[in-house]
Structure 1
């Protein structure tokens, strides 16, 4: 398996984990009081959109040439770090 395929498999597994986290966060948000619930659900929806954008970018990486995918990887890694940070931040607020 080449470096590109390993990266795609790794990122897909991370996005699958994020999907599960987003579902858990949504369940937590649904248990919150009305005002907080709207805020949390908005946050969950933003993460869901970011994850969908990343999924689309990952599909682009799959079809990219060997030279082009490395450049795309940088942007996808940045998006991944932002999404991961957002989820960690949401967990810390939802636990309170």
Structure 2
């Protein structure tokens, strides 16, 4: 397996893990009272936006040539970091 494929696989696993975490946060939000639900749903919507951006970057990366993928790596890393930070921040407020 080449470096590009290994990187893609690692990213996909991380995004899948975070998707499951967002689903768990949504389940917590579903069990809250109406006012708290609205606040949590807004945060979940923001997380889903970060998630969509990261998934789009991953698709770009997968579609890139072996020569061009390194150029896309920085954008992917940034999207991944943004999603990870937002998820950690939201998770701390959901407790």
Q: Indicate the TM-score class for this superposition, using the shorter chain for normalisation.
A: over 0.9
Q: Which residue of 1 aligns with 2:69?
A: 69
Greater alpha carbon shift after TM alignment, 69-78 vs 2-11: 69-78
Count of residue correspondences: 95
Q: Structure 2, unaligned stretches of length 5 or more?
A: none
Q: Which residue of 2 aligns with 1:55?
A: 55
Kept in 1, the 8 Å contact 2:53–2:79? The answer is: no
Greater alpha carbon shift after TM alignment, 82-91 vs 61-70: 61-70
Alpha-carbon offset, residue 68 of structure 1: 1.6
TM-score when scaled to structure 1?
A: 0.92
2:85 & 2:61 partners in 1: Cα distance?
23
Could you say what the CA RMSD is over the residues aligned between the two structures, in angstroms? 1.0
